[in-house]
Amino acid sequence: MNQRAPKNENDITEIVGGDSAALASLKNLDWEQDRVIESTLSGTELINAYVKRLPNKPGVYRMFNANGDVLYVGKARSLKNRVTSYGRHGGHTNRIARMIRETASMEFVTTRSETEALLLEANLIKRLRPKFNVLLRDDKSFPYILVTGDHEAPGLFKHRGAQSKKGKYFGPFASASAVGRTINSLQRAFLLRTCTDSVYESRTRPCLLYQIKRCSGPCTGEISLEDYGQLVDEANDFLSGRSRKVQDAMAKTMQQAAEDLDFERAAVYRDRISALTAVQTHQGINPQGVEEADVFAIHQEGGTTCIQVFFFRTGQNWGNRSYFPRADATLEPAEVLGAFLSQFYDDKPCPRLILLSEDLAEKDLIEEALSLKTERKVHINTPQRGEKRDLVMHALSNAKEALGRRLAETSSQAKLLQGLAETFGLARVPQRIEVFDNSHIMGTNAVGAMIVAGPEGFVKNQYRKFNIKSKEITPGDDFGMMREVMERRFGRLVKEHGIPDRDAPQDNDIDTLPAWPDLLLIDGGLGQLNAVREILRDMGIEEVIDLVGVAKGPDRDAGRERFFMPGKADFSLPPRDPVLYFTQRLRDEAHRFAIGSHRARRKKEMVKNPLDEIAGIGPSRKRALLHHFGTAKAVARAPLADLESVDGISAAMAKLVYDHFHQGS
């Protein structure tokens, strides 16, 4: 994607993100303005022309090709010395030599220290995703546990995304299921509420969670707010790593209750201690000497890299995740791991200890940068013996297994794509396949769905749903719905990326999906295929994409599908053909996504409240109206005087609500 070359501090701020901790430490940068040399030079000649004007200061440099695409982002202790190394003729790896040849312009920003340059480099790499950098991929946000701090009775919740809500965050956890299991155990151990604030305020009697001893019932006064606050403090202590202190205090209280013959109270603490033990034991390896650490291990094979990350908090294993960063095959494991580490903590809290399987050349620099970012000392170690070494070797073993599975899946997927190209007579192996389907009930809540598959399987972050908006489409008109979906999908694609050259060679250099699909799979027979073909012809892109229609066989039996292609007779595939199974998987995934999107839209419509349509009516006013009148219908029938009598509803707001339901009366 074409990235405009940023020229000043405002442009960099936009790229880095205003909420970045790294940006806060870079606010006094000496910004180098407008260093683009107007010249026909390129490659080493261009780079040598820049060198004459560069300072011996730390900073970040960016290399661009002739189209303005970012090729590489790098940092340097001395910009002049680093860029000079690129200007030498010879002595470069194939990757670096190719990058230098493509360089048509460069831009620079100086920083106060190499540490700040490292932080800025990590930010820019993640935002700009340059072609020749090591790239952290599949970087989905991690889930956390949140103990809220903006309510009289703090709640216990799973949280993902920006940590903007007031409270204490604990994590990261490797998966949502790990958070769910932990919250379930913490409910039994600390009896904290998990209901929303609106539910809390509307309760008049304890809910089921109180009855099954998973909540202490602060909403209805079953426990005083002071005693509930003590439970919250215990939960915070436990999640902060002081689990032994909490468990010892519970054990003493249980013993005292037993000595006082208060066996019911003693049984409550017995159950809470049992729940705490479950939290500590159900998460796998729980090292005794590691309270808070992240463990990274890297393994390379077949030109692919896997980095396995394990998270340890409060002396517990909070799960692991595999990453497959994009990196040149010539890079050493330590180089890849160092680049990965800088990007990984760009938007995540960093623990006090990081354990690695490889020694990093820039370990001290990365330590300093992470310490600056987190405002406390961070240690990076490569253990050689003991329990910490065992943790690293365990992570390395998992990295090897994950990479083996990845290579097997990729190889299998490559064979399937090759078979698909041969079976359908495609000019080249498809790198991006898009499958479309519609879902509705008697034309209501109609949704079009698109799923995407590529060399690495389903690409779920590329899935799209299209809520059918046209009022001119007859309910149940699948052809009309497909036309709207196609026009919206490809109209935007043409606008953003232009029409591709079908005869241009495929670029296998970048392992990212192309914007344009090579193949469209349409769920339906010849009628649907011709309808889509006509739509693409009207848009002038019929010759750009291959089309295949997949119709269900007689009695809708799987395995007896008929395939339709423009200009060819329809045909079937042998019952156990791998390509047949592959197309079935693609079609079924499109069905699943379309039906799920339709159900979500239908559910939203079913629970829609007329009060939501009134501007100025938020959750508090909506709750006040419903508490006073009972239902939205009663609110709609209420006279103006009754609306004005509701607590929290002003005369102006009451008039607004009344007018909304009495338009034209």
On whether the CB atoms of residues 157 and 145 are closer than 8 A, the answer is yes
Stretch among 119-123, 170-174, 402-406 having the lowest mean pLDDT: 170-174
Q: Of all helices (H) and strands (E), which one includes residue 23?
A: helix 21-24
pTM of the model: 0.62
Domain boundaries, the chain: 9-128, 143-281, 293-404, 429-605, 610-661
pLDDT digits (tens, 9 = 90+) for 245-298: 676 777 777 777 777 776 776 777 777 777 666 555 544 455 666 778 899 999
279 or 42, higher pLDDT = 42
Q: Do 9-128 and 610-661 show the same overall fold?
A: no
pLDDT digits (tens, 9 = 90+) for 315-344: 777 778 888 888 887 888 998 998 888 888
pLDDT at 609: 66
- What is the pLDDT confidence band of residue 460, given thresholds at 50, 70 and 90? confident
362 or 475, higher pLDDT = 362
The phi and psi torsions of 618 (rounded to 5 degrees) equal -95, -170
On whether the CB atoms of residues 338 and 380 are closer than 8 A, the answer is no
CATH no., domain 429-605: 3.30.420.340
d(CA 86, CA 76): 12
Q: At what angle do helices 176-190 and 225-239 cross, to 10 degrees?
A: 140
Name the pairing type of β-strands 433-441 and 379-381.
Answer: unpaired
Ranges of H-type helices in 456-566: 478-497, 526-538
CATH no., domain 9-128: 3.40.1440.10
How many residues in total does the chain contain?
A: 665
CATH 1.10.150.20 describes domain 610-661: yes
On whether the CB atoms of residues 124 and 149 are closer than 8 A, the answer is no
What kind of fold does domain 293-404 have according to CATH? Nucleotidyltransferase; domain 5 (3.30.420)
Q: Fill in the amino acid letter for 662.
A: H
d(CA 294, CA 406): 23
